[in-house]
Chains A and B, each alone.
Chain A
């Protein structure tokens, strides 16, 4: 008897609690439908499908770890893609991140109008989106190419260089373009964050005799920028590991000797060109795992340090 009333009481408490949450559930539901269907499900589906052979025509068949074994032992291009993704992430990631912060820090002292104009100038390439393809005219491989004609006139090269198809230069060219695009959302966050810092601290520190600006940056500015720096890190990881379409639009797909193949392009190659979905999903899972791991590490380091 007693337990039955207890159960009923519990149930009532649960329903009343649920009722309290109903408005929140209602507010969240439209977004949640899209979010689950087109962000969460794709990630989970990739994990499941990575253990199958699936060509979109017949039903997926379970193949165990075959896809992963093939990736690491039987697919040289995957190893190239992995290496290139790592190079892009390790070179352009930190440079973009530090450059974003450094430029934001430098323009922070200008007055509002100048700062606004400079912010717009530095953010323009990211804002312009797909317009980065103009670099194909600049790096064009014939002597009409802008860079080639300048270098030839200066006598630094004697014939046109095939910037976009010569495997020696392709990675470097893409890195230049990625750096051109590097002052993005993280940069805006840094500019805005620096403006909203506690001014009293700076005044107090200046009066107390901070030796120079770098000391100010290190002891006063950076410790207050923690949340912005974390946000910038999320954005940086999400862009640096997603590099691929830039390579495709600049150096072609597939590029010469797969010199600029990245994981994203390798997924595209198997997924939307060869329809080996299971295999493509296995590559995607590797990419997800690397990104998550990267975020965990950076999150830990930044949180501890700040």
Chain B
């Protein structure tokens, strides 16, 4: 069940549409209504961010508040740069920090997660299976939950106020390793055996055979890891102003209330764009990978 169907979703879809159970008109209407309501609930707050980012101050403070913008302006973008220049670090600096952290961290995590996933998927020894069970169980405990003991360890290692304190909890996460392992399970063992008989080393097999074959899985890890790293930046771990990330800036601005809503919306918009773009680029890979994500009970 994990192996088949991954490669040819389109072909199968066409066949599926031949036999479909009928549905009453009112049933169809209800489904559309339900999806529309849920969709509106999901999207409207984000649309609000988008329009608020372009609202001039008098529209933000207008009473009664209007949802849509009348006279769009870029003044909030200018404000954001000015506010951050005065009170905190320049905005470009925190944008750069977040970008670097997210890109480098994602790259490192994909490498170590793929390395770990290969034996977890293809070595049939008992100890490896036990390791895999631990990996699955560890998905339960996100960094939010282990935060305080993690803090003790990170501060003992003298890593507070370095990017390692934001990076390490993400690199230690087992979710990506799990996803990668599930996807590698779909690669036929015969391919690996054949390469072994040809005299390829394990590393060559991993690098030349496995890694190209699991491209959808690393595209998927890219979006999940990037999203996590892009959103980290707790002030508990980083207190030096010049090292702060966008998340910290967003927190400072949003705590200033409605008067800074315009600048806050601009930061929120900037925070939203990269993950959305990465997701749109990688969405078909994500679907292919998530199809293998099931856990056998």
Contact = CB atoms under 8 A, between A and B. Distances in A.
B181 to A, nearest CB: 11
Given A27-B115, A134-B48, A284-B145, A277 B295 contact: no
B220 to A, nearest CB: 9
B153 A45 contact: yes
Interface stretch (A3-11, A70-78, A86-94, A234-242): A234-242
Given A124-B276, A143-B63, A146-B65, A189 B172 contact: no
Interface in B30-49: 31, 34-35, 38-39, 41-43, 45-46, 48-49
Interface stretch (B72-80, B84-92, B135-143): B135-143
A35 B48 contact: no
A224 B144 CA distance: 33
Where chain B touches its partner, the secondary structure class is helix
A59 to B, nearest CB: 12
A138 interface: yes
B272 interface: yes
B238 interface: no
B63 A30 contact: no
A238 B174 CA distance: 12
A46 B170 CA distance: 19
Nearest to A305: B297
Contacts of A239: 142
Interface string A212-250: 110010000000111110110011011101101100010
A32 B153 contact: no
Interface residues of B, number: 112
Given A103-B38, A280-B148, A212 B2 contact: no
A149 interface: yes
18 contacts: A31-B115, A35-B135, A39-B146, A56-B155, A112-B9, A112-B13, A116-B284, A125-B42, A138-B45, A191-B287, A191-B290, A192-B287, A195-B13, A196-B5, A206-B21, A226-B297, A228-B293, A302-B297
Interface of B: 1-2, 4-6, 9-10, 12-13, 15-16, 18-21, 23, 31, 34-35, 38-39, 41-43, 45-46, 48-49, 52, 61, 63-65, 67, 111-113, 115-116, 118-120, 123, 125, 127-128, 131, 134-142, 144-155, 168-169, 171-174, 177, 202-203, 206, 224, 227, 230-231, 236, 247, 250-251, 254, 257-258, 261, 264-265, 268, 271-272, 275-276, 279-280, 283-284, 286-291, 293-297
